[in-house]
């Protein structure tokens, strides 16, 4: 994996690894599971050279992919948003991760609102296994016909994707989503409320496949405590304080787009069987492209405009 990496890039990557050691908890067999979400900006094609130039399209290059890969391998399972129809970067990343890693992803979402995107889960098969369930969230017709200003009028632009995983004896379902941004904050409320209500119904159903439900992804929540956040947690979903407060965007500390949320035993919904330990983001900006003098905008197209968000759960 490191045989052909230029020396100065390898030095930088080793420093990045050192910082990851300090920031992300270590994986411990039979003790914890590390779940993450990351909107990787336009994660599609790849320029297969170590240092892309301004005329190259895309700007994401092999150096960028090494950075993304070394961050992703710190987690047991990670939901990725903005995977494009062209999956060259994803395929090359899986080769870097090695034979112990696997993935599952949706087909491309058609239509202008879908933006040609997929949603994916990447997972470490030494620690995480698929446990049999994969589905997309489709809203019943009766709910589409509901009367009210905050009712969902049509199906989701990018259908939320639910997959069940098993870590040792613990099974959990991850629901990844990328909420349509819309022209104004109010436009996002129906999608958020519909997803939250659907998850609450599922989690409270004793006949459901499993009740350990965790929602994660890009909710496009503008500010902490705004209408979108309040509408999402109104169905009993919980976001711990340490996860609620960390920065999501490399450009704006006040934007709270990405979240990891779950139920904690309110409104008749069972609590998670996994105990939350801690969570956070990973600010990669100070540790990447030190010798290339790239702007934050350039860096956003090469790595991302979002930080990865992670949560550690105890499985003991």
CA angle 2, 84, 14 (to 5 degrees): 20
Q: What is the DSSP string of 115-135?
A: TTEEEEEEEETTT-EEEEEEE
What's the confidence (pLDDT) of residue 11?
96
Distances (CA, A) of 202 to 24, 180, 226, 229, 267: 31, 23, 26, 20, 13
Structure-token pair, residue 261: 């949320």
Query: In the structure, what pLDDT confidence band is assigned to residue 200 with cuts at 50, 70 and 90?
Result: confident
Dihedral of the CA atoms 123, 127, 133, 135 (nearest 10)?
-20
State residue 283's pLDDT score.
97
Residue 21: both structure tokens together: 């050691």
Q: What is the mean pLDDT of residues 47-60?
A: 96
Strand order through the sheet with 309-314: 101-105, 117-124, 77-84, 32-43, 309-314, 275-281
pLDDT for position 188: 59
In which band, very low, low, confident or very high, does the pLDDT at 56 lie, cut at 50, 70 and 90? very high
Q: How far apart are CA 216 and CA 236, in angstroms?
A: 15
User: Quick one: pLDDT at residue 153?
Assistant: 42
pLDDT in tens, 31-41: 999 999 999 99
Residues 6+ apart with CB under 8 A from 261: 214, 215, 216, 232, 233, 237, 238, 239
Cα distance between residue 33 and residue 38, in whole Å: 17
**pLDDT tens digits, 128-180:** 999 988 887 766 555 555 434 444 444 455 578 889 999 988 899 998 887 65
pLDDT digits (tens, 9 = 90+) for 238-281: 888 899 889 999 998 877 788 898 887 665 666 788 899 999 99
What tens digit of pLDDT does each residue of 91-132 get? 999 999 999 999 999 877 554 444 578 889 999 999 999 998
Q: CA 68 to CA 40: how far, in whole Å?
A: 9
Q: Which band of pLDDT confidence, cut at 50, 70 and 90, is reported for residue 3? A: low
> Which CATH superfamily hosts domain 7-314?
Endonuclease/exonuclease/phosphatase (3.60.10.10)
- For the chain, what's the residue count? 316
pLDDT at 208 over 70: no
* Alpha carbon distance, N-terminus to C-terminus of the chain: 34
pLDDT number for residue 103: 97
Return the H-helix or E-strand segment holding 90.
helix 88-97
Peptide bond connecting 58 to the previous residue in cis, omega within 30 degrees of 0: yes
Spatial distance between the Cα atoms of 36 and 280, rounded to a whole number of angstroms? 9
Could you report the per-residue pLDDT of 212-242, keeping only the tens digit for each? 889 898 876 665 555 556 666 667 778 888 9
Quickly count: other Cβ atoms within 10 Å of residue 306's Cβ: 24
Whether 49 has a pLDDT exceeding 70, the answer reads yes
Range 182-207 average pLDDT: 67
Query: Pick from 285, 310, 312: which is nearest to 300 by CA?
Result: 285
C-alpha dihedral sign at 12, 18, 21, 23: negative
pLDDT in tens, 19-31: 999 999 999 988 9
Half-sphere exposure of 124 (CA within 13 A, CB side): 21
Is 88 or 225 the better-scoring residue by pLDDT? 88
* pLDDT, mean over the chain: 83
What's the pLDDT score for residue 211?
Answer: 65
């Amino acid at each position: 994996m490191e045989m052909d990496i230029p020396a100065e890039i390898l030095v930088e990557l080793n420093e990045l690894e050192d910082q990851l050691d300090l920031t992300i908890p270590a994986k411990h067999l039979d003790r914890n599971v590390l779940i993450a979400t990351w909107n990787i900006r336009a994660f599609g094609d790849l320029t297969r050279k170590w240092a892309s130039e301004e005329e190259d399209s895309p700007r994401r290059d092999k150096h960028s992919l090494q950075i993304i890969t070394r961050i992703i391998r710190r987690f047991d399972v990670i939901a990725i948003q903005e995977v494009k129809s062209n999956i060259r970067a994803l395929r090359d990343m899986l080769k870097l991760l090695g034979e112990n890693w696997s993935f599952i992803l949706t087909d491309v979402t058609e239509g202008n609102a879908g933006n040609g995107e997929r949603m994916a889960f990447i997972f470490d098969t030494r620690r995480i296994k698929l446990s049999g369930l994969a589905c997309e969230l489709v809203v019943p017709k009766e709910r589409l016909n509901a009367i009210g200003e905050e009712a969902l009028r049509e199906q989701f632009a990018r259908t939320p994707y639910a997959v069940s995983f098993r870590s040792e004896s613990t099974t959990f379902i991850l629901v990844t989503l990328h909420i349509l941004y819309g022209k104004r904050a109010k436009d996002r409320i129906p999608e958020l409320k519909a997803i939250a209500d659907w998850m609450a119904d599922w989690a409270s159903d004793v006949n459901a496949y499993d009740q350990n439900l965790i929602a994660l992804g890009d909710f496009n929540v503008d500010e902490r405590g705004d209408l979108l956040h309040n509408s999402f947690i109104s169905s009993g979903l919980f976001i711990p304080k340490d996860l609620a407060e960390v920065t999501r965007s490399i450009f704006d500390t006040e934007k709270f787009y990405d979240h990891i949320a779950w139920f904690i035993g309110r409104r008749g919904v069972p609590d998670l069987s996994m105990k939350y330990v801690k969570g956070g983001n990973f600010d990669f900006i100070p540790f990447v492209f030190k010798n290339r003098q790239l702007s934050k905008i350039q860096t956003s197209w090469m790595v991302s405009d979002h930080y990865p968000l992670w949560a550690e759960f105890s499985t003991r």
